[in-house]
Structures are given as C-alpha cells and as structure tokens.
A and B are shown apart, each in its own frame.
Chain A
Amino acid sequence: MTGIGNGVPRVEGRAKVTGAALYTFDLQPSEIGATQPILHGAAVLSTIACGRILALDTAAAEHSTGVRLVLTHRNMPPQAEWGPLNANVRFARAQPVFGDEQVRYFGEPVAFVVAESFECARAAAASIQVQYEADQAHTVLDSEHGIDPAPLHGGQSSDSSVGDFHGTFATARHRIDVQYETPYQNHAAIELQASIAAWDGDHLTVHTPAQITSAARTGLARTLNLPEDRVRVVARLIGGGFGGKLPYFADAVLCAVAARQLRQPVKFSFTRQQMFTATTHRSAVSHRVRIGVTTEGRITAISHDAVSQTASFDNYVDGSTAGAKGLYGAKAIRTTQRIARLDLPRSDSMRSPGDANGSMALECAIDEAAHACGQDPVAFRILNDTRVNPTTGRPYSSRHLVACLQEGARRFGWEERRSGRKGEWLIGQGVASAMRDNLVRPSAAQVTLTPAGQLVVRLDMTDPGTGTITILTQIAAETLGLPMEKVTVMLGDTDFPKTSGSGGSFGAESSGSAVYEACLALRRRLDDMTKGRDASPETVLRLVGEAGGVTAEGKIAPGDETKRYSEASFGAQFAEVAVNVHTGETRVPRMLGVFACGRIINERTARSQALGGMIWGLSSALIEANNVDHRGQMAMRDLANYHVPVLADIQNIDAVLLPETEPVANPLGMKGIGEVGINGAAAAIANAVFDATGIRIRRFPITLDRLLPGLPPLA
C-alpha cells in the first residue's frame, strides 16, 4: 500500500537523523563534480545604517596567509541594476552586490575575502578596515509615515473596500478601535545561508538552498548579465526555508564572481550573527483594527490598517489584511497596507507572511469585540462565519471554519473550561480562527519509467524539510500503482522541469498536481503501447525495456476557478495559559489546533507542519522578537539572545486535520498546509492571557515585563 493519507515516514528521514544527508555547505569537490579544492569565503558587514564607504583598507587582508582574492565595490565586475521593483517574480530580480560605495543598512556586506581555508578567510576578513561617512539614518517604524506601495509595484493597490465602512462603524452598537504592534522577527533555520559556485567554461552552477531554484537562476543570470541557459541552480536539500530562502542572497553572487575570477569553486556561508542582517526578516507591523458589532453580536464593519517596514530601496509589503478581508461576513470592510522605507535590512517573507502577524492583531481584536458584546468567543466567530468572501464576493470553494471551531471546542473542552487561580498561577483559555489563502502556481514535472522498472520523477521543486520528497513519492506511487521503493523523486535542480518551488503553502499542491498529471500522461502512453496486447506487468516492462524507458510530462496552472471562487485553508486554535501571579511568566499547558486543509497526503508530515506553525505562534505570542538599536543595528544576533521556544516551552500540544476534499483548486483535492498552522496561534494565546489576567497586551511578544504592572499586588 502506497498510503496516501497515511503517516509514511520521510523518505530521507534516516539520512537526516544519521547525519548522512548533505546540505549545500557540506558538499565536497567530488559531490559537485569538481576536481579542484573548494576555496572559502568570508564577508565583512557594514557598521553604519546609511551613508558611504570613504575608504577600505584591504592591504593586510590581501597579504594575509592563504588569501586569493578580496572583492569590494572597487573591483566587482559590472552587474545589472537592482530590481526591477515591479518584477513579476520578486525573487528573480537582479541583486547586485557591492554595486557602489553606498551603505543602505547596518550589517550590509561590504567586502568579501576568498582564501584557501575557512580560517584564513575569516582572519583576513577581520583585518579589513572600513571608513564611512554616515548620513542621518531613518530606522524607526512609526505608523504615521507609511506610504502607499502601489506606485512602486506598478500600480495595483493592496487596499480594499466594500460597503460604507465609516458610516457603518460610526453607527455600530459596539465599537472596537485598537492599535496592535507586532515585532521584527529573524529567520533562525538551522541551515545558514550558504552557496558554492563552480564554473565549467562559460557555464555556472550554483549550489544554494533556494526555495525557488528557477527564480534564483533568473535572478543570478540577470545580476551577472549572463544568458539564463548558462546558469544552473541546485538545491537538493534545504535545512529549513520558512520563506527566508525564497530570495537568493549575496553569498550566491559573490561565490559566482569569485569562482569565475579564480577559476576554482568557491563556497561561503554567512555566520549565524551575519544572518540577522545580511538576509531578510519579518517586518515589524503597526496595526489599527476597527470592528463594529450589533447588539446581537453581528459584525457589521471591519477595518485593518497595516504599516510595515521595507528596506529603503525595496517595496516588499507584508500583507497583513487578508484575515480582515475574508474571515467574517461583515457588510462593510476596508483595509489598507502602507510601507515605511527605512534604512534597515530587507524585510521579506517569513512563514505565513502578513497573516502570521495580521492574525495576531485581528483575532485579538475579534476577542475584544466578543467581550464587548458579551458573546462567547467561539460562538461569536461561528455566528459571523460566511460562505462567501465578503471582499471579492466569490464563494469559498471549501470552507470548514465552523467545523474546526466546533470540533476544537469539543476536543479542548471549551464549554467546561475553568479559568481562575490555581496556586500561584492564573489560568485562562483563548481561541482564534486561522485562515491562509490557497494558491496554485504553474508547475511541471517529468516522469520516466526506466527499463529496470524504476520510476524517476524530476522537477525543480525543493524540499525545505517539510516532507515534499515524501509526498511526491507517495503521489507518484499511488497514481501508477507502484510501491514507494520503486519511485525516486529528484528535486531542486534547474535542469528539471520548472515548478512553483516551495513557499506560500503552494508547493505541495502545485508540484503534487504536476507529478500526478505526469503520471497520468505516462499511464496513457503505456496504455497506447500495450493497446491490443495483454497488459500484464511483464509485458509492460518488456515494452518499456525495448523503448529504452518511457518518459512523460505533466503540468498544472491555475485556471478559471480562481475567478469564480475564493480558496483558503482554515483552522481553529485553542490555548490554555498559566500566568505566574508573582512574576508574570507565562506557560502554555495546552494548545490544540484543528484544521481543514483539503486532502491530506501524509498525515505525519502534515501534522508536523501544523505543530511547527503552532509552536511558532507560541513563540510570537510570548517570546520571539528583535529590535533595532539606536544605530540601526539588529540588537539580537545569536541564538542565545534571539529567543525561540525550547522544548520546555511546549507542553501538551496537538493538531487535528479534519477530513476535507478541496473540489476545485487542483485534481488532488489538496490545499496549502504549511502556513495556516501559525495563523491565529499567537492570538489564541494572547486571548488566553487576557482571560487569565484581565490584562490586554497589544504589543507583542507578551513578555513578563509587560504584564507585571497589571498583576495583582502581592498578597
């Protein structure tokens, strides 16, 4: 049994837990087909937030032991200009490195050393002296000064408006008008951002953990003014993506340039400390949420105004308003998205970008609204459910939010819940809804049945640790009636058919559908070959052998259905917290998430996605944040200071996946599952903290210093 729906363990699981799995930085010359040793790079980062490089003293580094090359803005070969800002695929833009003497943020790469060993490279990098002329830097996100990003994107606005919000809100019986602040967060995946570049004549191969290899290829080709067909990007395994590896970074460009000049492969990884500025982060967002409710508890008006940070030269919008647009059936809804272009590193995608923080603001405000009208927060959400996306007017193709809330309430024991004091702990419970828009992106796959009877599946999809290799193996095995051992899935290579890549929860269904279609195409070809003969497996194999193997391709693209339906995954998050009455420390004894995400291909990997999202939600609610210091530097730059949850923070946690089949989005009946798990999880915890303490903290994370002033006096 191939077991779609079952908890099949990861195909590459054993290799990963035994350390046999090779990630980009692990690769040795033989593994990248090189005959020469690989050189090592090290980077120097800027120490001002805005200004110019006046002088760069690289003499000591150039004469340092083992050093082969020092790259700075003075000797970089010509590169394309940054952008364009309105590119179709943001991750395929040109990203020149050391383009000029400008410094655009604190911790921007300004010099790169290549040496025979890692130690030599690092020592030499440390000897480089840089002098700057600093300009006044703007690094504080304030909600007043956001600009409309539409012109930067080429016109299309991310704002929305249906009905008369102002009029409806003004006359509502209960009005909630609140400001929530969500903080900067940094990527903390185990695998650092790293590349290895090698040239074969005019052909460049870059090994880099890019979630979308095709975008990295286009971007690198543009940056380096190369034809795309001379660039290959390979990402066989990715040690955690979370959106932080959707872009490609300076490591890839620098390795490519250095390897070309030195005619030898070059590898480089940012250090953990450098990751905090030289890659992308989740923007801090300032949210104003307004909700108008009738006496009976019907939501009539919702508005969500969000202001997020973007780099001074970028236009990324952390779109936080999808929940306001689609979760509840209000007749008047308006949303705005503004960005503040600051002298800070680039913000970009981080798991459930926009919705992760948007749901923190919206779902806490919904809790406030439920309290204002005296409704139970579960009942209030059920009462305000909608079948139709109120902003687009399109019906949801499948939506089981109410079922998630009801099943969650039943399993959690919502009706029997007890808040109040237990010893030195204040106990409370909270709930929140979760939603993440569903997307299918154009994807193709190729399958080959070899004469030996092995099915080889090729596509440029990547597996950032989520289980993609495994579910694609299952889909191919099931579609062709093969045992899983007979299927080999090869991913992460721009030599293979182009897919969506992984990200935005679209990866599994897009690439899964492409594999499914390719398998169907292969079956048709085999049927044609066996037409009129007996079709026993032996005959098929003999014919395949005679043909030297049979190959077929399949693809999927979003069709008309997206114009007729709204598509999203839904869920309900429940949490119980215990707040220490003396110190304000918050623990989370119980978390439960119930999700409806279409057909589940692999219960085990899907559940891991949901749990991982919920744990990140806990982190966002209580623990995780970075802040910008007075110089524009990200204050926390290692994992001792930048806190994410440890095992001891997680107690009783469970995720339940309701049976559901998505009828229109794709032939497999799947929906996205990688992101919905984080949405609402933080809000459920924040709402539970309110239930426990009566304190509403509107600035995340809810650290104990924020609760302390409101706790009861010492007895």
Chain B
Amino acid sequence: MKDFAFSTAHSVDDAAHAAASGARPIAGGTNLLDLMKLQIETPNRLVSVRRLPRLDRVTVTDEGGVRIGAEVTNAALAAHPLIRQRYPLLSRAILAGASAQIRNMATTGGNLLQRTRCVQFYDMTDACNKRQPGSGCGARMGGNRMNAIIGGSEACIAVNPSDMSVALRVLDATVHVQDATGRVRAIPVASFHLLPGETPERETALQPGEIITEISLPPPPMGVHHYRKVRDRTSYAFALISVGAVADIREGRIVSARFAFGGIAPRPWRVEAAEAAMANRPAEVATIEHACDIALEGAKGYGDNDFKILLARRTLVATLLT
C-alpha cells in the first residue's frame, strides 16, 4: 500500500474542494481500501465523505418519490420502511449483495461507484486496459466466467458488479452530484455508467471533483417487484446473472413490465424496447423469450461465460413467470 494523507470533510463543499484538488472521496472504504491494498488504486489523498451532514437519510419528495442520501449505508437503506414498502426491489437487491458486515459499512454513493470484479483487473501482473490503458485485455485470453456478454468492447469486457445499481436502473433513479463551484447536476442512472468503448478506464459520467450527494427515485411503478440473483454459492458471491424487474401481470397478460439484468454487462442492462415488446402480450414463455431476444441482441460469450446467454433467458422467464 502506498502512503496517503487522510482528512474528513464536514460539508459537501469541503469534500468537493478536496476532491477538486486531487483527493479521492472515501465512504465505507469496502471497495476502495481493498483496491489500495493491492495498489490497483493509489490515491495520494483521501477525503472521507462518510460523515457529511444530512446525507445519511431517506426522505419523501413532493412528487411522491424518495431522496436517498449518498452516505446512507446499504444496511440502513435496505431496512428502511419507505424502501421496504414502496421499493422492495431496491431492498432485495441490496440484501442480495455482499455480507451483513460489508453492508453495514458500504454506502449508497460508494456502491454506485464500486468497480468491476474482473479477475484480470484485480491481478496487477495481468493485462487490463481499464487498470492500465493500452496494456490489453487479459480476460479475453480466458478465465472470463464472470465477464460481460454484452455492452463490452474490444478493449474491455468487465462487468459492473453492483446489485443495487440494477434496482436503481429499473426504478429510473437520478444521481445528484455537486462540484467545488457549488454547481449541481442531476444525472439519470441510465447514463451514469458508461460503456467501455476505447476508454474502459472511464467508468461513469461523474467529472473529477464531483461528489455524489443524493439519489432520487420517482414514485414506484405499478407491479410486483422481483430481484433474482443467480450465483455460484447461496450467499456472499457476485451475480453470474441477476434480474431486477417490476411486472404488472393481470389475468395472464403482461400489462407492463420493466427489467434489467445484472452480471452481464458493464452497466445494469436494461433495454426499453424489450419491455415495450412485452406490454399487453400474454404472460408466457414465448413473450419473454422474444423480449430477451431484443434485450440480448448481439450478446456474445468469450468461452467461460458463454452459458450466461442461456442463463439470462431462463432466469428472466423464471423471474416473471413463477
């Protein structure tokens, strides 16, 4: 681990100023510290955003949605009565991730920014364009069981591993950020995580120096909330595939349904056209397979992860029809 300086911010301004001058925000530290120990990340300065005032709460908005402070812990968010009652998808997605101890430390902002678990990204001795632009992609050479089948590029096939983000994507969340000049921006979660293209080192729409302050959700969509996560052991493992969905199915017909996949792409994978193709169709396998055809168009395996294409289809069917 490299030496670093550490300070604690007491206001968003503080934090943004520190960040603008090169400090790296740290919240729960459950991702960043691991990466620093391996020297995958080597910030010179850390600024703790964990204690930022008023960012540790969940409040109701005038439009009937909620605003979630960036420093609300994953544990607190999943257990929050508003979330459990109105956005059970979010609650379930969070509880499907990590372990109780990690969720106690992890925060909403940190979770949204957690980095890929690609094995080659973690191996400092291997090629990784995300970690070291231009060095190549070790995952294409094999050992890519956890990697993306869609949305990746020649340069990078890493997956965004967050369960929470899948739910946020289905729920049409907005990410609120602020910079050192006090400028605030609202970024739809749909455009928050970037596809790798030629620049896999650029992962989000966050600009250097911007601090995530809140995440807002519109009123919940109509329907039953599902989060189904398929993994290599019963708990405490990243998703091979996950499906977040809200489906309004009545009398054998899909009135409306939204869904996003986790575990298969560099960002939560939601394709609105696929959802549209399900609306007002019979709730049966053929309908969902057709939606999957649209959502997974162009999907491709790299050997060890070929199975994810079939698994994604079967998991979506199981999620919506059982």
Contact = CB atoms under 8 A, between A and B. Distances in A.
A600 B314 CA distance: 49
A715 B320 CA distance: 13
A651 B235 CA distance: 13
A430 B237 CA distance: 27
B230 interface: yes
B143 to A, nearest CB: 5
Given A623-B232, A636-B119, A645-B233, 9 more contacts: A424-B322, A583-B241, A627-B143, A629-B141, A630-B141, A631-B125, A633-B123, A633-B125, A640-B117
B123 A714 contact: no
Contact of A643 (B138, B232, B241, B307): B232
A154 B3 CA distance: 53
A427 to B, nearest CB: 17
Given A705-B307, A715-B285, A630 B233 contact: no
Contact of B234 (A582, A587, A714): A587
8 contacts: A123-B2, A580-B318, A583-B314, A633-B123, A635-B119, A647-B235, A703-B232, A705-B145
Interface string B278-322: 000000010001000000000000000001001101110110001
A714 B310 contact: no
Contacts of A582: 314-315, 317-318, 322
Contact of B142 (A630, A648, A649, A711): A630
A679 B47 CA distance: 52
Contacts of A580: 318
Q: Top 5 nearest A-B pairs by Cβ distance?
A: A705-B307, A582-B318, A648-B235, A648-B234, A47-B125
B157 to A, nearest CB: 15
Interface string B231-245: 111111110110000
Interface in A551-605: 580, 582-585, 587
Given A640-B117, A646-B234, A708-B310, A631 B126 contact: yes
B262 to A, nearest CB: 14
Interface in B22-64: 38-39
A622 B237 CA distance: 14
B1 interface: yes
B126 A123 contact: no
Interface of B: 1-3, 38-39, 117, 119, 122-123, 125-126, 138, 141-143, 145, 230-238, 240-241, 285, 289, 307, 310-311, 313-315, 317-318, 322
B223 to A, nearest CB: 21
B237 A708 contact: no
A119 B1 contact: yes
A581 to B, nearest CB: 8
B226 to A, nearest CB: 13
Given A646-B236, A704-B311, A705-B307, A714 B285 contact: yes
A708 B233 contact: no
B35 to A, nearest CB: 12
Contacts of B313: 714
Contacts of B230: 583, 585, 704
A524 B122 CA distance: 63
A308 to B, nearest CB: 22
Contact of A123 (B3, B233, B241): B3
Nearest to B310: A708
A379 interface: no
Contacts of B119: 635-636, 641
Contacts of A649: 233-235
B28 to A, nearest CB: 16
Please tell me the size bucket of the interface on A: 35 or more
B236 to A, nearest CB: 5
Given A122-B1, A715-B285, A641 B117 contact: yes
B233 A583 contact: no
Nearest to A706: B307
Contacts of B117: 640-641
A645 B313 CA distance: 27
Interface in A302-347: none
A708 B3 contact: no
Interface in A110-157: 119, 122-123, 126
Contacts of B238: 640
B309 to A, nearest CB: 10
B311 A708 contact: yes
Nearest to A644: B233
A394 interface: no
A643 B233 contact: yes
Nearest to B39: A126
A629 B143 contact: yes
A19 interface: no
A714 B233 contact: no
A704 B240 contact: yes
A637 B314 contact: no
Contacts of B289: 714
B311 A705 contact: yes
Interface string A347-367: 000000000000000000000
Nearest to A639: B236
Task: Tell which of B3, B310, B314 has the most Cβ of chain A within 10 Å.
Answer: B314
Contacts of A633: 123, 125-126
A236 B1 CA distance: 31
Contacts of B125: 47, 631, 633
Contacts of A636: 119
Nearest to B235: A648
Which of A583, A584, A703 has the most chain B CB atoms closer than 10 A to its own CB?
Answer: A583
Nearest to B38: A273
A709 interface: yes
A584 B125 CA distance: 34
A647 B99 CA distance: 12
Interface in A690-715: 703-705, 708-709, 711, 714-715
**B125, B232, B285, most chain A CB atoms within 10 A:** B232
Contact of B311 (A122, A583, A587, A630): A583
A637 B123 CA distance: 9
B33 to A, nearest CB: 13
A640 B30 CA distance: 12
A351 B142 CA distance: 29
A711 B138 CA distance: 32
Contact of B233 (A424, A584, A646): A646
Contacts of A640: 117, 238
Given A635-B119, A641-B117, A646-B235, A714 B126 contact: no
Contacts of B2: 123, 126
Given A123-B2, A631-B126, A583 B315 contact: yes
Contacts of B310: 708-709
A584 B241 CA distance: 12
Contacts of B38: 273
A111 to B, nearest CB: 14
Contacts of B3: 119, 123
Contacts of A709: 310
Contact of A714 (B142, B143, B314): B314
Contacts of B142: 629-630
A711 B38 CA distance: 40
Nearest to B3: A123
B43 to A, nearest CB: 15
Contacts of A641: 117, 119, 122
Contacts of B145: 705
